[in-house]
Amino acid sequence: MSAAPVVELLRRAERQEPRRPSYEASLLFEHAAMAIGHVRDRQLQRCNRRLETLFGYGPGELNQRNLQMLYPSYSDYVACGRSSGRQLERQGSCRIERLMRRRDGSLFWCQLSGQAVDVSRPSAGSVWTIEDISARKQAENALREAQAQLEQQLAEIRRRHQEDLARASRLNSMSEMAGALAHELAQPLAATLNYLHGCQLRLKQGDCTSEQLDGVISRAIQHTETAGSIVRQVHGFVRRHVPETTATDLHALIGDMLGLLDHQRRKLGVRLELLLAPAPPTVMVDALEIRQVLLNLIRNAYEAMATSPAEQRLLRIESRPLAGGRVEVTISDRGPGISPEACSQIFDAYFTTKQDGLGLGLAVCRSIIESHGGSLRVASNPEGGACFRFDLNTVMNP
Amino acid sequence: MKAANEMTEILTPSRSTVFVVDDDTAMRDSLRWLLESAQLNVQTCDSAEAFLAIARPDACGCLVLDVQMPGLSGPELMDELKRRHIHLPILFLSGHGDIPTVVQAMKGGAVDFLQKPYDNAQLLERIGQALTLDADSRDARRREFLRSQRLEGLTAREREILDQVVAGRSNKEVGRKLAISYKTVEAHRGRLMRKMGAASFAELLQMMLGGRRETI
C-alpha cells in the first residue's frame, strides 16, 4: 500500500482549506490499517494510532518527536535520513527496508514508503507508511538458509556420487585384474618358498655357511615385502576411501603402478620407455586417486597394444616440468589409436569401446585430474597409437 | 645311420643337469638355490633363445620350462628341440590360463606339467621322475644303438641262426632246417653270443625282445 492517496487527500485538503485536513481525511488517517505518519524536518508532525502501536507507544506520545527514537542507533538515523532525503528530492518518493526499534528496545524489520507532500517545496515534508515485514524477512532468511543447505547437500551428493563412481571403477579394475594380480602375487611368494625350502634342505644336510643363508634369507625377505606391497595396493584400491591430500613423489606412483601391471606387460611382451624428468616432481594429491588414473591409463595402453605386431608394442611414459611449477605426464601407446569420433566421447561416463567395459575409467580419470586442478587430454601419437596427457601442480622446492 | 654327435652322446653320458628356463629373475635365482640345495646340477637361462644357444644334443637331465615367456614360448621351444634331436624331458610350469597350451604340448611328447602355485616337494619329485625318465630313455637308446651295431657285426649265417634261436628252435632243429650239422650250429651260436655280448641265452633273448638295462 502506498502513501499516495493519503498525500492526495492532504494536498486536496490543503488546497481547499489550508492547514486543516478535511474530516474524512482525518478519519481515513486515524483508522487506516497501516501505520502512517507525516514527517517534517525529521520530526513526526502527526501519526496515526496504528503507528504508535507498531512501535509500542501510547496515544500522542510520538507527536512532535524526532525520528531518531525509532532507529536502532544514531548512525542508522543519519544514514537513512540522508538516503531517503536524496530520493524524495529526486523522485518524490522512496521505499526502504530497515531494522527499526520499538519502545522496549526490540528491533524489527520494517518497510518504509515515503512520499513528498510537494516535491517543489521540501518544507511541506513527507508522508510515510510503515509496514512490519519481520515475518517476510524471517521467511526470506529461512528460504535463503534452506537454499544454501540444499546446495550444500547437492554438492555433497555430487561429491559422493563422484566418489562412488571412482570406487566402482577401482573395484572394476581390480576384478578385471584379479587373475593377473594373483600371478603378480604368486611370483614373489613362490620365489620366497624356493629360498626357504632350499635353506631347510641345506640345514638338514649341514652344508651351508651362515653368509650363504644370510644372502638367501635377505632375498626371501625382499620378495615377501614385494608381495606385501602388492596386497597393500590392492587393499587401497578396494576399501572405502577417505580423500586425503599429501605431498607425494609422482614418479614413485608411476613405479608402483608399473609394478602392479608388470605381469600384464610381460605377458604381452610390451617394452617400456621411461623418459622421466631428472628431478622427481612432488605433487600435492590424493595418492590413491592419482594411482587410479595411472593404473587406468597404463592398462588401457597395454590393452590397446594387444593386437599390435609384437615388435611395435612399446609404452612410453614421459614426465616434464612445465612453466609455473606444473608437471605434465604423457602416456603413449602404439595401439590402433583413437578415431576422431571416439575422441569426442572418450571421457563421457558409460562410453566404452571394450566388450565388457563399464565406461567409467576415463570419465573418472578426468574428474580426478580436474578436481586436482589439472586437465586430462587425448591426442594421437605421431608414431602411431594414442597418447594421454595430464598436468598437475607441483610443490615448489623452497 | 645315426649322427656322429648322437653316438658320442650315447656312449659318454655327461652329468645330469636341470635346465631352468624362466624370464623372471627371482624365479630363476630361487629355483637354482632350491635345486642346488637338493644337490642337483642346475643351469639357468632367461629365455628360450638363450637355452637354444647352449643346448647340445648330448645334454642330459631335464628342462624346467615356464610356459609364458616373451619371445619363443615354452611349447615353441619344445618343437625346436625336437627338430634338433634334443630329447630332454620337459616339465612345464604353467600359470593360470595356460592349460590349453600345455595340453597341446603334452600331445607332442615326453612332457609333464605343474600348475602354479605348486608344492616344492612336488616339484622336486617331478624333477626326479623326469631325470629317471631321461636316464631310462637314454639307456634304451644306448642299448638299441649297441644292439644294432652288434647285429651289423654278425655274418649272414650267424644272423640266420640268431633269428631261428630267438624264435625258440633248438640247435638240432636249426641244423635240420638250415641243412648244417648240429656242431656247426653250436659253433656259430657261441660266436654270435660273444659278438652280441650276451653271457647267457636268456640275456640274448632279452636283448632281442627288448629287456631290462641290467642285462647289458
Domains defined for chain B, CATH in brackets: 4-135 (3.40.50.2300), 153-215 (1.10.10.10)
For the segment A367-384, the average pLDDT, to the nearest whole number, is 90
Mean pLDDT of chain B: 81
B23 touches chain A (CB under 8 A): yes
Note whether B170 contacts A: Cβ–Cβ < 8 A.
no
pLDDT interval class at A2 (50, 70, 90): low
Tell me the domain boundaries of chain A: 4-132, 243-398
Among A147-156, A219-228, B70-79, B181-190, whose mean pLDDT is lowest? Answer: B70-79
The ipTM, to two decimals, is 0.70
Average pLDDT, chain A: 88
Say yes or no: A216 contacts chain B, CB-CB below 8 A.
Answer: yes
Rounded Cα–Cα distance for residues B62 and B55 (Å): 11
Q: What grid cell was written down for A32?
A: 487506516
pLDDT value, residue A126 = 92
Element (H, E) at B99: helix B99-106
Question: Given this structure, which CATH class describes domain A4-132?
Answer: alpha beta
pLDDT digits (tens, 9 = 90+) for A98-107: 999 999 999 9
- pLDDT band at A24; cut points 50, 70, 90: confident
Across the beta sheet with A314-322, what order do the strands follow?
Answer: A271-275, A314-322, A326-332, A386-393, A376-380
More confident: A374 or A22: A374
Does the beta-carbon distance from B71 to A269 stay under 8 Å? Answer: yes
Read off the pLDDT of each residue in B3-32 and give the average, rounded to a whole number: 73
Q: Is the pLDDT of residue B7 over 70?
A: no
Beta-strand runs (E) in A89-173: 93-101, 107-116, 126-132
Residue B212, pLDDT > 60, answer no
Say whether pLDDT at B214 is over 50. no
Listed range (A159-168, A238-247, A255-264, A337-346) with the worst mean pLDDT: A337-346
pLDDT recorded at residue B4: 44
What's at A41, amino acid-wise? D
Q: Which comes out higher in pLDDT, residue A14 or A49?
A: A49
Give the closest of B23, B31, B116 to A194, CB-based. Answer: B31
- A354 against A120, higher pLDDT: A120
CB distance A105 to A55 below 8 Å: no
**What's the confidence (pLDDT) of residue A67?**
92
Q: What is the pLDDT of residue A66?
A: 92
Does residue A377 sit at the B interface (CB-CB below 8 Å)?
no
pLDDT at A358: 67
Nearest CA-CA partner of A334 in A366, A303, A355, A365: A303
Segment B147-171, tens digit of pLDDT: 888 888 888 888 888 888 888 888 8
> In the structure, what pLDDT confidence band is assigned to residue A198 with cuts at 50, 70 and 90?
very high
For A206, the closest chain B residue by CA position comes to: B37
Gyration radius of chain B over CA positions: 23
pLDDT of A5 over the 50 cut = yes
According to DSSP, the β-strands at B111-115 and A386-393 are unpaired
Fold of A243-398: Heat Shock Protein 90 (3.30.565)
Instruction: Name the minimum distance, in Å, from the CA of B118 to any CA of chain A.
Output: 8
Q: What is the pLDDT of residues A355-368, one digit of tens each?
A: 666 667 888 899 89
* Residue B207: strand, helix, or coil: helix
Q: Is the predicted pLDDT of residue A220 greater than 90, yes or no? A: yes
Q: How many CB pairs under 8 A join A and B?
A: 63
Omega into A398 within 30° of 0, i.e. cis? no
CB contact under 8 A, A194 and B33: yes
